[in-house]
Structure 1
């Protein structure tokens, strides 16, 4: 397994892979790898000659500097896990390698409209950071396919739109969320939860299931469902920090033409913000 930190070496090796007509899969991550990440890696390994995993904690997508500083860093453990999963190349650049002139002087990529939807889930600046770093990785690695988790569903929709708009010839594959035995979506941020908070966090998925039940059975309208769900979160010790029931394709309001709904939910437990997603066939 190659571990590469510098751009010139990465470009040289990627060029050699392409000369040999090797198919390349990319799994972009910020490290602190868990079974959710490794599911992406496993799926990517099945479908490519060369598997590249990037580990980069991207400062451009953090609005809170403390959140950036406290983001879990487990690089040595990550290397061991990736080696076991037969990854060919790990790209681990420093911020100065990616943004040599600093963030303020960096050209950025912004996907309009979709990045502004669901403002209570994320601020548009977050997605500006995501699309900028992902487009840079796409240009550097030139993968045939890239794998992303569905838990960050708005991110997945935005990246797919960016692919179309920027004419990237890359297949973007979304992989279903991996959960623990209690239904909690795996996340690098779960490490910040104490045992009591972990127990409370399982209610996030339960309330999302309740929303899905109401949507399918059409007993309540969207506003009623949203109000009830937020009350349920509070009653379970979770602070609502974003809740959207929207069209799966457009992320806009559900219409008669909507075939599937997307439930996107975010809540805080202490200082930890968790997100989740569920698809509902209407």
Structure 2
């Protein structure tokens, strides 16, 4: 691992730009017993419990600690769109409102979350925000069942949306050339998968099985084209979600006309 900061320092010297060691940190995920000491040139690199990369803040267990920030960003986007009449009463039609939600709010809410393994508490926060927002846009009571809230708008749970993004990202990695570092990491982790391994690729394996899609080994060996895979993922996830929502609705007598 020391090779990475060494190469970064070497190229900075070669290209005549400066890397500040006091602003350079490293994060150890699932830290083993021995401690690591890394150097940038002759200076030590400080280990931190959290680090921000590409707009996402992660802790030393590989989790994102800014789910609340994602929700806050999505809520601010909703406020910004209120000037365009995006609100429940006396505003845009429900069709237009849901379209704005899907195009502007949802991408900001889920940005970067497909790269993480979210805990149930984080996912519940995202689901609560989605349900509350969709109910407000439809002008229906807060106690409306979740199945009705989603079926009336044609939306799927936020977890399924993140699953779509994660599956598409995984296949993009599998399509890389075998000589690329990211593809080599994917091959290494996929070949060493175990049932309870806390790995992102293990989560992808379970997600593929959940939606009856080809196995991770099949995709690694023969990844499909981007457009074909995107259509397959969207179809599989949408069908599974609609089936689950309809099954849930059938258990509630007040929703029998939605099925």
TM-score, with normalisation over the residues of structure 1?
0.24
Higher helix share: 2
Q: Higher relative contact order by CA 8 Å / sep ≥ 6: 1 or 2?
A: 1
Higher strand share: 1
